[in-house]
Amino acid sequence: MYQFLFNLSGSEIIATIFTAAVILVFILLFVLFAVWFERKVSAHMQDRLGPMRVGWHGVLQTIADFVKMLQKEDIIATEADRKLYTIAPVLVFTGSFAAYAAIPFSSKLLGSEVEVGIFYLLAVSSFVVAGILMAGWSSNNKYSLLGAMRSAAQIVSYEIPTALVVLSIVMLTGTLSLEKISQLQTAYFWNWNIFGGPEFSLAKFLLIPFMFVGFLIIYISTLAEVNRTPFDIPEAESELVAGYFTEYCGMKWAMFMLSEYANMFAVSAIVTILFFGGYQSPFGYLGNSIGAEWLVPFEQAFWFIAKGIFFVFVQMWLRWTLPRLRVDQLMTVCWKYLIPYAFLNLIIVGFISLL
Amino acid sequence: MALKTETMILNMGPQHPSTHGVLRLELELDGELIVNVKPHIGYLHRCFEKHAEAMSYPQVIPYTDRMDYLASMYNNFGYVIAVEKLLGIQVPERVEYIRVIMGELQRIASHLVAIGTNGLDIGAFTPFLYLFRDREKILSLFEMTCGARLLYNYMWVGGLSHDIHPDFVRLTKEFINYFRPTITELNNLLTFNKIFIERTANIGVLPLDTAINYGVTGPSLRGSGLAFDIRKEDTYSIYDRFDFEIPVGQGLVGTVGDSWDRYYVRILEMEQSLRIIEQAIDQIPDGDVKAAIPKRIKPPKGTVYTRVENPRGELGYFIISDGNLNPFRVKVRAPSFVNLEVFGELCKGHLVADVIAILGSIDIVLGEVDR
Amino acid sequence: MKQYLKNTWYGIWTVLIGMKITFKHLFTPAVTIQYPDVKVPLPERVRNRLYVNIDDCIGCDQCSRACPVNCIEIETVKSLPGENLGTTSNGKKKALWVTKFNIDIAKCCYCQLCVPPCPTECIYMTDVYEFSEFERDNLVYKFANLTEEEAVEKKSNYEKFQAEKEASRQVGAAASAKPETPVKTQQENKNE
């Protein structure tokens, strides 16, 4: 995409801005959809109807909410640290927006072909912690502070199991580039990493259970990284009212929500790329079979977004099923369960890949 | 050299999503650890007892509705039994049966809220709505009978405000058949969920002697392992005719008397209530629903104390009559108020997140605490 | 170690059971309705807004006395002997002009204690439950069917009648109490 625009315009700046704009538009559209989708999923799981009035089955509800949010007065508490308080939501959103730079939506639509894509993703997604801590501290509210402290501890801890699982995939594929990891799992769905990767050998079959464990671990830990139930203790509404964004309102609050939903898709994208073939279709491309090559990238984008939305749906499904853990139990799950399992998994995958 | 630290005071409530109304908790925190809890009450004080002195005996009944607004039927029940005892009248058999059925339906409805909000406090939103859906069905039965969904004013001195609706028996049986499987579903979804167990087992353990010393009653006491239920201990109405058990906490997943036990006792109690309703619904005799009592209720001079097993514990009414149309004094022993006292004891040494789990398991209604 | 593995397994398994239940509910029809468009049929005994059929009201004030929150305010004026106020639907003869019958529905607690005492069953609860207002004063429902002038007229009529009666009684009383005075009055008359 960047290359294409660069060739077209001949200017780096224009190409960069356009690429960023496309991704920003995607994020906004996705958030509009995801907020509505979450409300509908939760409603139907709870035998309710959910939003029904604005548009067909309330599809435009989020837009109506957004308009309402724009009209709201921007309140800043007197005792709040005004500078940090204003920067924090922007910083949080920047973190989650930056992550999209390296995500390959299809073989053509990707912000930047970073060679160390997965490393960049892990690094930049923890950027959010700084924003959350700022928000919690600057609000000058005890609930916000507690929420921020919890969040920092949580996100930092859960990066370890994520990294361990990522490491096992990197060991298997031999690359850090998200684009290359996606390309490797091409053709049919049995070539996906969850089914042991593209190479057909004994190791492939041995890998399947461990890949599955790896998938579970990374899914759980990324769930914790984006603060979703059962790991939503930083914003636990029944304990901390709203956690680190208790004092926020209007558009500033909307920025936090935007970044939360953007993060949901980002981590789903990571899971998709690492284990479920990234943008690869599970059964060949229509564009290839009818001879329309230009169709393939769009199909890829479709598959990528579909897979991403499926994992976002599972996140919502979990959210509306489970109670939330306590802060110490959250750490227990991470340090005593996920990390040992991930570590063991890493060693076993290493041995198998030696075969 | 030790670092100088100090505790943090966190004010939880009166406007807080999970203090079950307008309870204000003053938490003294060391990090997230609770050092001390001070509950502050009185935000919903409506002078029930003083009001009652200015009302005639039947006029007090709508006010009793508003004490424990999740168990209005049972509040009526306790009050009318007290006044009837004061008057020395016997109500017809039919009235007794209907009162027991209504009371037990109310117990289920109230426990549904208790269980649902306990789960909600811990973060499980979906079971809460499933339980409210079932509670609506009970409320529809009440609405069909007396016309109101929350504040019934159904049991009157010497009888009932309305006879049951012709469809009531059939619909109640339908409800029982519908409700049994939903308890199983709830158990699968929430009760035996690992996360829920982790959050409630071994949390807020209430030893039996502490419970007795504080005067805790109801499911909170039974969760600690004592089978004390006024329906059996000090039988009133016609509860002695039915066959039911008193579930107690057994420490199935943790220690006896923890939050999970208090929660689970409520689930088992709902099943027992269903049993009572099943037995009673087939035996309702024909007859009138109003005893022959004078139009102006004027009990003789005297005092009376009655206690009934409210969904939350022992609900006692102490009435002094000076022979006038108005009671001289109506004192209420509110179970929520008494149970709340032990709360500070339970929270010590737990985390902030546990405070709400414990509060949910005690199941207080602020309308009754403050009256 | 065994406990450790068991915990892991139990954790995953119960989560899956929960997910199965919620997934099933994803396809059960909703129990909620689109309220202002769709409404739940109300049972016949439903207790909502109070209504007074003033044609049947005899102004006995029993409902007002039964009310625990004093939301019913009734004022009556006795009718004059010659006036015919008609009868209620169950055949009771009306003897009082109901000049004021106000129910402050904002105070009402919907307990239905006012309904059974009514001898003519003219006060009852209806199934109307949507009656919110922007002004609190609009929630004071005035049921009396006499206009203000009429009410004033009735009142003054009665007062006049009462005064006349009082006067005649005084006259009568004076006539009966002091048999010796007529002489005096006669003298006064003569003086006139």
User: Per-residue pLDDT tens for A245-290?
Assistant: 888 888 888 888 888 888 888 888 888 888 887 787 777 777 677 7
- pLDDT digit string (tens) for B6-24? 888 888 878 887 777 788 8
Question: Residue C189: which pLDDT band, with cuts at 50, 70 and 90?
Answer: very low
Distance separating alpha carbons of residues B21 and B113, to the nearest angstrom: 13
pLDDT of residue A195: 75
Domain assignment of residue B7, yes or no: no
Whether pLDDT at B306 is above 70: yes
Q: What is the pTM of this model?
A: 0.85
pLDDT band for position C70 (50/70/90)? confident
Q: Say if CB B44 and CB B27 are below 8 A apart.
A: no
pLDDT for position C176: 64
pLDDT at C187: 45
CA distance A138 to chain C (A): 37
| Count of structural domains, chain C | 1
pLDDT digit string, tens, across residues A5-18:
677 777 777 777 88
User: Which three-class secondary structure state does DSSP give residue B98?
Assistant: helix
Domain assignment present for residue C140? The answer is yes
Is B42 within a domain? no
Average pLDDT of span B86-110: 88
Residue A269 CA to residue A264 CA, distance in Å, equals 9
CA-based nearest residue in chain A for residue B128:
A46
Domain count, chain B: 1
Sort B97 into a burial class: Cβ within 10 Å, 0-12 / 13-18 / 19+.
buried
DSSP single-letter state for residue B29: E
What CATH number corresponds to the domain at position C72? 3.30.70.3270
Reported confidence tier of residue C183, pLDDT bands at 50, 70, 90 = very low
Residue C95, pLDDT above cutoff 80: no
In a domain, C21, yes or no: no
CA–CA distance, B73 with C125 (Å, rounded to integer): 20
Contact B298, B31 (CB under 8 A): no
For chain C, the C-alpha Rg in angstroms (whole number) is 33
pLDDT score recorded for residue A293: 73
How is C13-24 classified by DSSP, letter by letter? HHHHHHHHHHHH
Put simply, the answer to whether C28 touches A337 (Cβ < 8 Å) is: no
Phi, psi at residue B179, to the nearest 5°? -80, -30
Tell me if C73 sits within 8 A of C147, measured CB to CB: no
Work out the number of other CB atoms within 10 angstroms of the CB of residue A241: 20
pLDDT of C121 over the 50 cut: yes
Split at pLDDT 50, 70, 90, the class of C130 is: confident
The average confidence (pLDDT) of chain B is 86
pLDDT of residue A299: 80
Q: What is the C-alpha separation between C36 and A343, in angstroms, rounded?
A: 57
Which pLDDT value is given to residue B1? 60
* Pairwise CB contact (< 8 Å): A146 & B32: yes
**Token digits for B29?**
């925190």
Domain of residue B246: give its range: 47-339+350-370
Residues of A in contact with B195 (CB under 8 A): 230, 322-325
pLDDT recorded at residue C186: 45
8 Å CB contact between B39 and B343? yes
Q: Whole-angstrom Cα distance, residue B98 to residue B152? A: 14
* Cα B305 from Cα B125, distance rounded (Å): 41
pLDDT one-digit tens code per residue, A26-83: 888 888 888 898 888 888 888 888 888 887 888 888 888 888 888 888 888 888 888 8
Q: What does DSSP assign to residue A110? A: B
Cβ contacts of C43 on chain B, cutoff 8 Å: 140, 143-144, 147, 165
Contact check, Cβ <8 Å, C25/A47: yes
Residues 6+ apart with CB under 8 A from A147: A136, A234, A235, A236, A240, A242, A243, A244, A245, A246
What is the phi/psi pair of residue B27, to 5°?
A: -95, 135
User: What percent of chain A stands above pLDDT 70?
Assistant: 95
Please give, rounded to a whole number of angstroms, the shortest distance from the CA of C137 to a CA of chain B: 24
Task: State percent of chain B over pLDDT 70.
Answer: 100
Q: What residues of chain A lie within 8 A of the CB of C28, using their CB?
A: 47
Determine, yes or no, domain membership for B243: yes
Report cis status (omega within 30 of 0) of the bond before A51: no
Mean pLDDT of C161-169: 79
Put simply, whether A310 touches C (Cβ < 8 Å) is no
Tokens representing residue A162 in the block: 């994520």
Residue numbers in C near A47 (CB within 8 A): 25, 28-32
**Angle in degrees, CA B130, B134, B138, rounded to 5:** 160
Q: Is the pLDDT of residue A228 over 70?
A: yes
pLDDT tens-place string over residues A84-102: 888 888 888 888 888 888 8
B68: phi then psi, degrees, rounded to nearest 5? -100, 90
Q: What is the pLDDT of residue C181?
A: 47
Residues of chain A neighbouring B16 (CB-CB closer than 8 A): 241
Query: Three-state SS for A71?
Result: helix
Query: Are B193 and C66 within 8 A, CB to CB?
Result: no
Torsion of CA C4, C7, C8, C14, to 10 degrees: 170
With a CB-CB cutoff of 8 Å, which residues 81-120 of chain B face chain A? 119-120
Residue B298 domain flag: yes
What is the secondary structure of C106-118 as a DSSP string?
TT-----TTTTT-
Q: Return the higher-pLDDT residue of A242 and B58.
A: B58
How large is the C-alpha radius of gyration of chain A? Answer: 21
| pLDDT, mean of residues C1-6 | 84
pLDDT band at C192 (very low <50, low <70, confident <90, very high): very low
What phi, psi does B39 have (nearest 5°)?
A: -80, 135
In a domain, B71, yes or no: yes
Cβ within 8 Å, pair C112-B61: no
Q: Of C103, C66, C57, which is closest to residue B161 (Cα–Cα)? A: C66
Please report the pLDDT score of residue C188 as a whole number.
44
With vertex at residue B25, the alpha carbon angle to CA B24 and CA B28, rounded to the nearest 5 degrees, is 150
| Chain C CA closest to residue A40 | C26
CA–CA dist A125, A127 (Å, integer): 5
pLDDT at residue A152 is higher than 60: yes
Residue C49's alpha-carbon distances to B69, B250, C42, C129, in angstroms, are 21, 49, 13, 6
pLDDT digits over B231-264, tens only?
A: 888 888 888 888 888 888 887 888 888 888 888 9
Contact C30, A46 (CB under 8 A): no
In a domain, B249, yes or no: yes
Identify the domain containing residue C60 by its residue range.
Answer: 50-149
pLDDT at C169 over 60: yes
Going from the C-alpha of A202 to that of each of A30, A187, A208, B3, C164, the distances in angstroms are: 40, 20, 11, 59, 120
Main-chain dihedrals φ then ψ at residue A353, nearest 5 degrees = -70, -15
What is the average pLDDT across A298-309?
A: 85
8-state DSSP, C102: E
Mean pLDDT of C29-54: 85
CATH value at residue B204: 1.10.645.10
Residue at C68 is within a domain = yes
How many angstroms separate the CA of residue C69 from the nearest CA in chain B? 9
Touching check for C28 and chain B: CB below 8 Å? no
